[in-house]
Structure 1
């Protein structure tokens, strides 16, 4: 099976209706990723098959069980090279996507990819979650906030949850230590009004990586003092 076929099958196994443009978009995305990776550190993996599995399919796995679906508004916090937000937008044409990253060079990269794929409805924010989570234009405006491997879970919760509407979801892509991180996040969940919904184990093709998705529902409004000023959440996570 060639890489394109593997990607197609992987997407279809995740419930995505694929088409040629979508598969072509992923091919172009990886080529631009490899190109820009020579100038700045975007990813440790460049091989086509590896990128398809560990970045693209891993990102799309966050649609499992339907918390992330077409038509919702979603913010990807600390998006880096665009994961999971940009692959989600390639597969779900009607999500209203905001990509937030603190490094302007990464935002430039993401704009370049979007331009090449003729996607013109993404909102890009160059800045910190701690600042924009306080901004009325963004605070509690999204159906879903998502993040992938940006920080420890108690810190991520403080970064992401202020963006989510009451009744919305925080969908977090995590590695093998999810259970331990959940234990460490009880205080942050309590303070920020979250309820843990479920942990979804992800099987990726031809990969023994243990990934899971943690899903939380926001039950009440974020207290005014959160998120705390830049640097604070990382230095002193809510305990």
Structure 2
């Protein structure tokens, strides 16, 4: 175990996560694949090893601060990009059934390679738009936990993500710095999609000190038939109160 892995291990201990040697090897293989594939396609602007471990791997696993993954069996990651937070969660909690949804075929091929190389049998990458996949019976109102990291504004994310959450489950939105405006704007969509804001957890990355927010939204009942709207509509016309519809989003 080198210095980067030692620091990573110590940071995860504060989240209540202990990794085996095999799991640490999986993270290192993931890092190598990320750098290798990033030379062929745009996966991340962060490639320095220590930064990847903190800003991608550790950051993804902060969900353990607000979710007891020992009590969770299924998770969907919407707009996962290079696999954050879903792949780190699948490594740390191998019992999870993880569905990764992304609209770019190249990214899905990368995620399939990662899942294969890391022997993550419970990971299923799906190529498609969230609005379309959420209409499928196999995915609608099915998941214990649904998450998205730095994908869109919360008013948009609610429509993309809450339809995947089963009644009694939770959508956890991973956000960066100031979120007060987004929270205010998103109340309308949370209500329309049968959600309820439970709490907001604020934290900082341990070394860099950058602000992070985890927004927990409980799903109170099944998704209304109207939602999600057709692919592309939520981003172009977010669910907000008519009085603020004209504001710059």
Q: Normalising by the residue count of structure 1, what TM-score does the alignment of the two structures yield?
A: 0.97
- 2:109 is equivalent to residue 108 of structure 1: yes
RMSD: 1.2
Q: Distance in 2 between matches of 1:164 and 1:74?
A: 9
Matches for 1:148-159 after TM superposition, within 5 Å: 148-159=149-160
Residue 71 of structure 1 and its aligned partner are, at CA, apart by: 4.1
Q: Name the SS for the 2:56 alignment partner.
A: helix
Q: Distance in 2 between matches of 1:115 and 1:9?
A: 28
Q: Name the SS for the 2:196 alignment partner.
A: strand
Q: Does the 8 Å contact 2:54/2:205 carry over to 1? A: yes
Residue 138 of structure 1 and its aligned partner are, at CA, apart by: 0.6
What are the Cα deviations for residues 85-124 of structure 1, in whole angstroms up to 9, with x where unaligned? 0100000011110011001110111111111111122112
Alignment-derived partner of residue 83 in structure 1: 84
Q: Name the SS for the 1:185 alignment partner.
A: helix
Alignment-derived partner of residue 218 in structure 1: 219
Q: Does the 8 Å contact 1:71/1:96 carry over to 2? A: no
Matches for 1:25-174 after TM superposition, within 5 Å: 25-69=26-70, 71-174=72-175
Residue 137 of structure 1 and its aligned partner are, at CA, apart by: 1.1
Alignment-derived partner of residue 232 in structure 2: 231
Higher mean displacement: 201-210 or 54-63: 201-210
Q: Does the 8 Å contact 2:72/2:145 carry over to 1? A: no
Q: Does the 8 Å contact 2:172/2:217 carry over to 1? A: yes
Off by >2 Å, runs of 4+ in structure 1: 65-71
Higher mean displacement: 172-181 or 41-50: 172-181
Q: Distance in 2 between matches of 1:8 and 1:70?
A: 23
Residue 11 of structure 1 and its aligned partner are, at CA, apart by: 1.3
What are the Cα deviations for residues 126-173 of structure 1, in whole angstroms up to 9, with x where unaligned? 000000111111100111110001011000000000011111100110
Residue 227 of structure 1 and its aligned partner are, at CA, apart by: 0.3
Alignment-derived partner of residue 177 in structure 1: 178
Q: Normalising by the residue count of structure 2, what TM-score does the alignment of the two structures yield?
A: 0.93
Q: Distance in 1 between matches of 2:215 and 2:190?
A: 13
Query: Unmatched 5+ residue regions in structure 1?
Result: none
Q: Name the SS for the 1:66 alignment partner.
A: coil
What are the Cα deviations for residues 192-217 of structure 1, in whole angstroms up to 9, with x where unaligned? 11111111112222112111100010
The count of corresponding residues between Structure 1 and Structure 2 is: 239
Query: Unmatched 5+ residue regions in structure 2?
Result: 241-249
